[in-house]
Amino acid sequence: MIKELEFKDSVDFYEFLMYDKIFNRDYIFRGECSDSFKLLPCALRSENTNFIHYAAKNGELNHDTEQNQVECEYILLQDFLRHCDLSGLTIPHVERLKNAGVFFRDYSFLHELKRWIFEDLHECAGLAQHYGVPTRLLDWTLDAYVALYFATTGVLENEYNKDFRSEYFVLWALNIFELGEPYKQQYLRFIKPSYAGNPNLCAQQGLFTLIEIDNPYQTNLPTLDKPFLSAPERQTLDEYLIKDNKDYKGESPLLYCIKVHKDLARNVLGHLVNKRYDASRLFPGYGGAAQSVREKLLLDEKTNIFGKHTFAKSCIPEN
């Protein structure tokens, strides 16, 4: 169901990239600069709980409950769409948000919801997630090279960060062929927002996964024996796959965890840049062009993006 691969040699890794069958339309990809990072969306990471609550409700966290978590996520999404609308930016039309959020915050109807996130908010949540608003969506891409770009740049930008300790960066590959049909999964959803009007998402071939939750209000009402409502379910994607696909007997794994030694990061990034997978391509516009100039420092074995000097051995072949 879940298969882990490990690479410490660049030749072996490039052969794998070129010839392995997972690099076709059956899989989507996610890159992480550390193998310690979990497949957990930003809004559900425990270290972000106080930030999300404060940003949504301007106060300290009182009770870490599923209901409070959903309210905060919805308020942040509503605020994001309100600012977009007031700035004249195109946003997906959602009837329930036509007035709410522009003049006032309204989340009273959350008490009636059966699934979170609402289906008519999927597009809005994808837009917000792509631009940094914490949601329970997890970023993926159709292009493995895009995922590797984010993983390797993350490694090199943390090269001199003493608090960043990781021996491997990771390329995750998720079997969308087996999991993508709605009838196959009760809670897992794949969300691909429209690329029109979103050049970054288009360039990065982005999409998202969502693990929905049932009735966060209806099924967890407080009682005398249980005065506080249930805590948020912080289930990682790999945990979900193991739990909800116990009888899976397919020929291909549902999820690959491809670990690549950090010493190969500079070599791999150089390979990607040579194939035109750089910031100017993945972030179309002036900002991406400027970032491409800075990328040259990441590829120099004697400097990093912050200009620090090192005599570390280069991973880039001399020829």
pLDDT digits (tens, 9 = 90+) for 108-130: 666 666 788 888 888 889 989 98
Q: Is the pLDDT of residue 316 over 50?
A: no
Q: Over the stretch 225-261, which tens digit does the pLDDT of each residue have?
A: 555 556 778 889 999 999 888 888 878 899 999 999 9
Residues whose CB is less than 8 angstroms from the CB of residue 42 and which lie 6 or more positions away in sequence, other chains included: 48, 129, 134, 135
How much of the chain, in percent, has pLDDT values that exceed 70? 81
Q: Are 206 and 128 in contact (CB under 8 A)?
A: no
**The pTM is what?**
0.86
28 upstream amide cis, omega within 30 of 0:
no
Residues whose CB is less than 8 angstroms from the CB of residue 312 and which lie 6 or more positions away in sequence, other chains included: 301
CA distance 79 to 31: 29
Q: Is the pLDDT of residue 19 over 60?
A: yes
Q: Over the stretch 28-42, which tens digit does the pLDDT of each residue have?
A: 999 999 999 999 999
Q: Are 78 and 100 in contact (CB under 8 A)?
A: yes
* 34's tokens: 């550390």
CA distance 37 to 80: 26
